[in-house]
Amino acid sequence: MQEYDVAVVGGGPIGGYVAKEIAHEGFKVAIFEEHEQIGTPLKCAGLVTSRVFDFLDFPKELVVQNKIKGAHIHSPLGNTLTIGGDRVHALVIDRPMFDKEIIKCSIEKGAEVFLENKAISAKKHEDHVELKTSQNNVVKCRLLVGADGPLSKTRE
Ligand SMILES: Cc1cc2nc3c(=O)[nH]c(=O)nc-3n(C[C@H](O)[C@H](O)[C@H](O)COP(=O)(O)OP(=O)(O)OC[C@H]3O[C@@H](n4cnc5c(N)ncnc54)[C@H](O)[C@@H]3O)c2cc1C
């Protein structure tokens, strides 16, 4: 049985960010990600506000592919509405790279990452939670973080 202060289910941007912040405080943290690679399969259009980078420790140039200043909206009747102007409203990011960079930052702070490890059960005990993964890993942690996306099973 492996022991961690915190086990994070999900190696997406939230899991990576939370793990980085907690590992930075000196706690022993592990991330369990079901897929074999961070960032894939891609399920995001990759549009973000530039404020996202206020929270991150890597330069936005690493992942930004384009800047959005406006849009042309075409109606079925053939009318066009143009919005926006000179100001940048959104950034287009390389989302798989974005996720990987966040995880890299968490590793730099000491977090451990286990790929191809789907969380399959979690049981709450008096002073800890026991997590089991698809690789037969049994993990004892003081805190379990469900960062497994909008359809989180951990939350349930
Ligand atoms: C089609 C689409 C387009 C989108 N476009 C945008 C956009 O343009 N801009 C924007 O800001 N947001 C967009 N979103 C939303 C955005 O993708 C999410 O808000 C964001 O990914 C949430 O991050 P997260 O870390 O909470 O979850 P996720 O990115 O979903 O990460 C969860 C991670 O947990 C893993 N996981 C799940 N279950 C388990 C388990 N049992 N065990 C181990 N690992 C597990 C998954 O593999 C995944 O890596 C879009 C979403 C969709 C579906």
Per residue in 55-107, pLDDT (tens digit) is 999 999 999 999 999 999 999 999 999 999 999 999 999 999 999 999 999 99
- What pLDDT was estimated at residue 143? 97
Query: Which atom of ligand 1 sits closest to the CA of residue 14?
Result: 25
The answer to whether the predicted template modeling score (pTM) of the entire model surpasses 0.85 is yes
| Radius of gyration of the chain measured on its C-alpha atoms | 19
139, β-bridge pairs: 2, 131
- Residue pLDDT, tens place only, 38-54: 999 999 999 999 999 99
Which residues does 58 contact at the CB level (< 8 Å), separation at least 6? 101, 104, 105
Q: What is the mean pLDDT of residues 8-27?
A: 98
- Residue pLDDT, tens place only, 98-138: 999 999 999 999 999 999 999 999 999 999 999 999 999 99
d(CA 50, CA 60): 8
Asked if residue 9 has pLDDT above 90, the reply is yes
d(CA 118, CA 135): 8
Ligand 1 contacts (CB < 6 A) are: 9-15, 32-35, 43-48, 118-119, 147-149, 153
Ranges of beta strands (E only) in the chain are 2-9, 29-32, 47-48, 64-68, 70-74, 80-84, 90-93, 112-114, 119-124, 129-133, 138-146
- What pLDDT was estimated at residue 132? 97
Pocket test for ligand 1, best of 43, 65, 116, 154 (most atoms within 8 A of CB): 43
Asked if residue 156 has pLDDT above 90, the reply is no
